[in-house]
Amino acid sequence: MDAQVESAIEIAFNPSTDPNLKSQAYTFLEQLRTDPSGWQVCLSLFVRSPPPSEVVRHVSLEVVNNAVQTQKLDQQGLQFAKDNLWDYVQRQYGPSTNGVDATALQNKLTQTLTYLFTSLYASSWPSFFDDFKALAGDASNIGSANPAGTTLYLRLLRSIHDEIADVLIPRSQDEHKRNTELKDFVRQRDAAKIATSWQEILSRWHEVDLDIVELCLKCISRWVSWIDISYIVNPDMLRHLWDLAGQQVASSESGQGRVRIAAIDTLNEIVAKKMPPNDKIGLIRFLNLADVLGQLVASPGLSEYRSTSNYDTDLGETVAKLTNSVLFDIIKVLETNGIDESTGIKADELLQLTVPYLLRFFSDEYDEICSSVIPSMTDLLTMFRRKVKVGVGVGSGEVQMLQPILDTIIIKMKFDETADWGAEDDQTDEAEFQELRKRLHVLQQTVAAVDEGLFMNTISRLVAATFNGIDAGDRNITWRELDLALHEMYLFGELAVKTGGMYQKGAPANEAGRHLIEMMTKLVTSDLAAHPHPAIQIQYLEICVRYCSFFEHNTSLIGRAFENFVRFIHSDHAKVRTRSWYLFYKFVKQLRNNLGGDAQTVMQSFGDLLQIRAEVPDDSADDDDSSEVNEQSADAVFNAQLYLFEAIGCIASTPSISIQDQTYYARSLLEPLIADLNSHLPSATTGDDRAVLQVHHVIMAIGTLAKGFCDWMPSVSSSGPPPANELSAEFHTGSEAILGALEALKSSMHIRTAARSAFSRMLGVLGSRILNQLPRWIEGLLSQTSTKDEMATFLRLLDQVVFGFKTEISSILDSLLTPLLQRVFSGLSEPTTGTDDEIQLAELKSQYLNFVLVILNNDLASVIVSPTNQGNFEPILQTLEHFCRDASDYATARLAFGVLSRMTIVWGGPDLPVQASGANGASQDPAPALPGFDNFAMTRFSPLTWGLISSPSFNHKDAQARSSLQEAAALQWIILRKCGTQYEAYLRDQELPGIGFQGNTVDEYIGRLKDPDQRAWKKHFTQFVAQARGG
C-alpha cells in the first residue's frame, strides 16, 4: 500500500504525466483522505528512513494533518501519531542532525504538532513543552547547540498561540471553550518555564542566530497578551529588550535591523496588554517608554539620516506605532471616569513627555509614518474637544500643545517636494495624498472646535503671508506653498458656513466670515490668477465658485474674476481648460442676476469653444481604465463642453437683457447648431458613425443651451417665471430640428438618448408648446427597439409634463395614451434575460404605475376611460391585478394596490356613512362616478388582497411584504366607505367564507374594518394575516 500511495503522489504532481493518468491519481488520493486508515499509510511514508521525495512527504503529512485536525482519530490513533512524529522529530531535529526539512515541510509539521497539542496536552501529553524545550537545549546552550531544535520549539509556540489565543480568528463555541481550558492549563503548568526559555535565548543573543532571536521576540509579542505580565516585565527581560531595541543599526533590512524592529514590536504588545488604569500608567512608567522613545528618535536612522536616502522608514513606522500605542493608553486613562488624582497627574505628565514624539512622527514626510500616529492624534484632539463641550476647558499645558499640533497638520497638508502634480505616472500617489488630506482636515476641524480663534488666526496668517509674498514677487514661494494656502482657504469656509455663512444683512456674519472676506478680497485683487502652475489656476477657480456669495456683495470684483475665467477656459493645459468649463458654468449660474448685459462681447470671447467636432473613439480606448485618459477622452471633453453651452445660455438671458435681445442671442446660437445638425443628417442616415455622433452632440448642445436660457420648470413652483413667448418660439425651431433627426434615426439608441436628454432640458423653455409635439416625441423615443430603461426614464419625464400642464394636456393625453400604453405593455411582456434586465423591468413597472397615479391625481382620470382609450382600460386592470398578486415583487404590489385605492377614491363616488356593528339604521346605496364601478371594486379589487397573501412565496415577516399588506388593507377600508353595506354583505356572504373564514372571525373582521382610524385597521389586518399564516 505504501508503494501504491507513493506512486500515486508522484504521478499526480508530475507535470509531464498523462492527464488521464493524473486524473486517476487525484481520484485515488481523494479517496485516501476519506479512508479511515489512509492516514496511517501516509504517516509511515512521512517518517520513513530513508525518506521518499519531498512532494511525497508533504502530501503524506497533509493527509495526516487533515485527519488530526478534523478529529477523525480516536485516542489510540492520536497517541500512535504522536509517538511516530515525536520519534521523527528527535531524529530529524536532534542536536546531531546535519540537515532539516524544507520550510514548507516545517510549516506543515508545526501545524500537525499543534493539532496534536490541542488534543493531547490536557490529558496524555503534559510534557509537550518540556519535551521540545529539551530538544532545543538547556540554559547554557539554547539557540546555539541545536538551532534546528530551537527554531522548531519557537515555531510551535507561535503556532499554538495562533491556534488557541488569536482573538482575530472566529471560533465556534466549542472551540472557544477548549481554548480557554488549554490556556488555563498552559498558565498553570508551563507559562513560567516558557518565559524563562525566552529569557535564556535573549540573554545569549550575541551568540545565537539572529533569525532565532527574531522568532523568539515574535513569540513574546504574541503570548504577552494572555500570560502573567510579570514573566515578561522584569528587570532581566526588559534589559535584553532595551538592548535589542536600542541597537545602532545601519538598515532595518539587515538581521540586526529585523531584530531591533521585533524588539520594538514586543514593547508595543506589552504596552497594549489590557489592565486597570493605574496599572497601565505604572507599566508605562516602569518601561520608561518616554526615554526609550527619545533614544529611538535620536538614533541615526531617524535623526541623522532624516531627509536623506538612508532614512530608515521601517524603523520610523515601527517607532511611530509604539508612540501611537503609548498615547492611546495614556489618553484612555485620562478619559476614564473615577481615576484617582495621583494616576491622573502621572498620566498627564506622561502625556506632556510623549506628545513631542507624536508631533515628530506626525510631521514625517513619509505618509505611512504619519498615518501610524493619526489615530492617537485624533484621540488627543477628541479628548480636548470633549472637555470644551462639557465646559471643563483644556489645561494650560494642553493649550500649549494646540498651536504646534495645528502647525504640523497644516505642514502635512502640503504636497511633497517630489510631487509632480497631474503627471500620469503620479496618479496613485496623488490620490493617496488627497485621502490623507481628508483625514488631516478632520483633525483641523477638531482643533477649530477646541479653539476657534487659534484656528482662524493661524489660517488667516498663512493665507495672508503667502498672498503678500506672491504680490511682493517672492520667488521662494513655490507652487506647493501657494497650493497649501489656497487649499486651507477652500476648507476655511466650512467654519464660516457652520457659524452662519459669510454675510448677514450685507455685513460679515461672524468672525469667521470676516476672515474669509479678507482672504477673498486679497485673492481676487491680487495677481495670483496669473500664476503659471495649473494646480493654482484650478484652485483659484474652485474658490471663486465656492464663495460666490462674496461676489454678490462685491459686484465690482465680478469683472476681474470673469476675465480670469475667460482666460482659463482657453488654457493650453487640457485639465485646466476642461475643468474651467464646468466651473465657469457654476460661477455664471450662481451670479446670473449680478452679471451685466454685454452678452454679445462674452459670446464672442469664447464663441470658438462652441464649435462641435465629434470624434469617434478608438476601440482601444474602451479598454483604457486610466482616470487621466478618461478625463481627457473625446466623450469627457464634449461633456465638459456642454457646460459652456449652458453657461452662455445663462449669460444671454440675464434679467438685465431685454426679451428682444435674448431672442436674438438664442437665434444666433441656435442657427449654426441647427445647420450643423441638418448638414450631417443625410450621412448619419447612411450609417456614418462620425455623422451619427455629430448629430448626437448637436442635439445634446441644443438641449443644454435651452436649459441655460430658462431654468423654469412647469412642475416646480419656485423656479421663477415661465419663458417669454418669443423665446419659446425660437427654441421650438430647435425642437423641431431635433424631432426631425429623431424620426430619421430613431433606431439609434445613441440618438434616442440625446433626444430624451434634450426633451427634459427643453421642457422649461418650450412651455406648453411642447404638448403638440408630444405624439412625435413618443413615437421617436419609444420605438420598437427602445429598452425598458428608456421607457421608464421617458415615463418619468411624462409625469413632469402631465403635472406641469395638467390644465392644458387633456386632449393631447387623450390622443396619445393608447399608443403610449401599448408600447409600455409590450415592454412589460418581454422576457427578462439577466439581473440587469430584471432591474430595468422593476423600474419600468414602477414608472408605469406612477404615471397612472399622476393621471389619477391631477383630475385627468376621465382620459383613461374616454371613448378613445376605453379599449386599454381592461389591460390596465389586468396589469394591476397581476402586480397585486406577485409576491416576488412586494414594492410593485404595494404601488399597484395604491393605484387601485386611488381609482376607488376617484371613481367610487362620495363616502357613505359606516354603520356600527349591530345598528339597524337605513343604508345608502353607492353612487359611483363611473357607473358600475362599485360592483367592480368589490368583486375584482377586494379579492386581490387574498391573492397576494395566498402565494406560496409570500412572507408576512418581510418588511416590504408588510408594507404591501398595509396598502391592501387601505384598499378594503376605502371600498367599504364607497360601497357601504353592500360591501359588508359581500364580505360576509361571499369573499371571506370563500377563503375559509366563518362565524365570529367574519364578524370581528368586518367590525375592525369599520374602524374610522385607517392606521389602526392596517395594524389589525397585518396581525390578522400573521395569525392566519401561523406566525
Q: How many helices (H) and strands (E) does the chain have?
A: 48, 2
Is residue 722 reached through a cis peptide bond, with omega within 30 degrees of 0 on the bond before it? no
So what's the pLDDT on residue 628?
44
In contact, 281 and 347? CB cutoff 8 Å? yes
Query: In the block, which residue shows the cell 486651507?
Result: 488
* pLDDT tens readout for residues 346-373: 999 999 999 999 999 999 999 899 999 9
Q: Where does 830-912 have alpha helices with state H?
A: 835-857, 861-864, 873-885, 890-907
Query: In the block, which residue shows the cell 504619519?
Result: 370
What residues have CB less than 8 Å from 93, skipping those under 6 apart?
100, 135, 146, 148, 149, 152
So what's the pLDDT on residue 914?
86
In contact, 292 and 267? CB cutoff 8 Å? yes
More confident residue, 415 or 711: 415
Cα 42 to Cα 24: distance, rounded to the nearest angstrom: 18
Cα 976 to Cα 937: distance, rounded to the nearest angstrom: 10
Q: Where does 253-312 have alpha helices with state H?
A: 255-271, 277-286, 289-297
- Residues of 661-680 as b/e, b for ≥16 C-beta within 10 angstroms? ebbbbbbebbeebbebbeeb
Average pLDDT value for residue range 519-545: 94
Give the C-alpha distances (Å, rounded to integers) separating 998 from 101, 951, 987, 1004: 81, 21, 11, 10
So what's the pLDDT on residue 570?
94
So what's the pLDDT on residue 720?
64
Average pLDDT value for residue range 332-336: 94
* pLDDT tens readout for residues 914-954: 877 655 655 788 999 999 999 989 999 999 999 899 888 89
Cα 942 to Cα 948: distance, rounded to the nearest angstrom: 11
Cell numbers that stand for 736 in this block? 423641431
Cα 328 off chain centre by: 28
Cα 442 to Cα 491: distance, rounded to the nearest angstrom: 11
So what's the pLDDT on residue 713?
83
So what's the pLDDT on residue 625?
46
So what's the pLDDT on residue 917?
62
Strand partners, 622: none
Task: Check the CA dihedral 259-263-269-272 and report its sign.
Answer: negative
Terminal C-alpha separation, the chain: 59
Query: In the block, which residue shows the cell 497644516?
Result: 410
So what's the pLDDT on residue 719?
58
**What's this model's pTM, rounded to 2 decimal places?**
0.82
Calculate the dihedral angle through the C-alpha atoms of 103, 105, 110, 113, rounding to the nearest 10 degrees.
Answer: -160
Report whether pLDDT(717) > 80.
no
Cell numbers that stand for 803 in this block? 403635472
Cell numbers that stand for 227 in this block? 500570560
So what's the pLDDT on residue 627?
42
Average pLDDT, the chain: 92
So what's the pLDDT on residue 252?
83
| Percent of the chain whose pLDDT exceeds 90 | 77
Cα 444 to Cα 433: distance, rounded to the nearest angstrom: 16
For residue 225, give the 3-state DSSP assignment: coil
In contact, 5 and 48? CB cutoff 8 Å? no
* One-character DSSP codes across 925-974: ----SSTTHHHHIIIIITTHHHHHHTSTT--TTSHHHHHHHHHHHHHHHH
CA angle 589, 593, 596 (to 5 degrees): 100
Q: At what angle do helices 689-709 and 749-766 cross, to 10 degrees?
A: 20
Predicted confidence band at 593 (pLDDT cuts at 50, 70, 90)? confident
Report whether pLDDT(486) > 90.
yes
Report whether pLDDT(1030) > 80.
no
* pLDDT tens readout for residues 610-633: 999 999 987 654 444 444 446 678
Average pLDDT value for residue range 98-127: 93
Report whether pLDDT(424) > 90.
no
